[in-house]
Amino acid sequence: MAKIACFGCGVCCVAPDIAALGKAIGVPCPHLRADLRCAIYADRPQVCRDYPADELCLAVDAPTLEERVDRYLAAFGLERPPSTSAV
């Protein structure tokens, strides 16, 4: 996929599971601030540093974080666990 500049939508900090953080699918990372910035940016795990901003970010873009997360999960054939919410 073609690389793009990250536009800070926050979906990659909520939608995927991140083993290095013990984070489940669809659950906001505890380090994600309300403004969708990373509270530990300088010390974030390598997996976060390596995450590519690419066309998928554009494909799942939507007006709300909730919608973006649902679109991201759908792109991978996944569903949000019923008890979780992006916001």
User: How near is the Cβ of 3 to ligand SF4 at its closest, in Å?
Assistant: 10
Question: Binding of ligand SF4 at residue 13 (CB under 6 A)?
Answer: yes
Given 1, 17, 19, 40, the residue binding ligand SF4 (CB under 6 A): 40
CA 42 → CA 6, 20, 77, distances in Å?
16, 16, 32
∠ CA 35-36-38, rounded to 5°: 110
User: How near is the Cβ of 61 to ligand SF4 at its closest, in Å?
Assistant: 8
Any alpha helices (H) in 31-64, and if so which ranges?
46-50, 55-59
Contact 60, 10 (CB under 8 A): no
Question: Binding of ligand SF4 at residue 74 (CB under 6 A)?
Answer: no
Question: Binding of ligand SF4 at residue 71 (CB under 6 A)?
Answer: no
Question: What residues make contact with ligand SF4 under the rule CB under 6 A?
Answer: 6-13, 18, 29, 31-32, 38, 40, 44, 48, 51, 53, 57
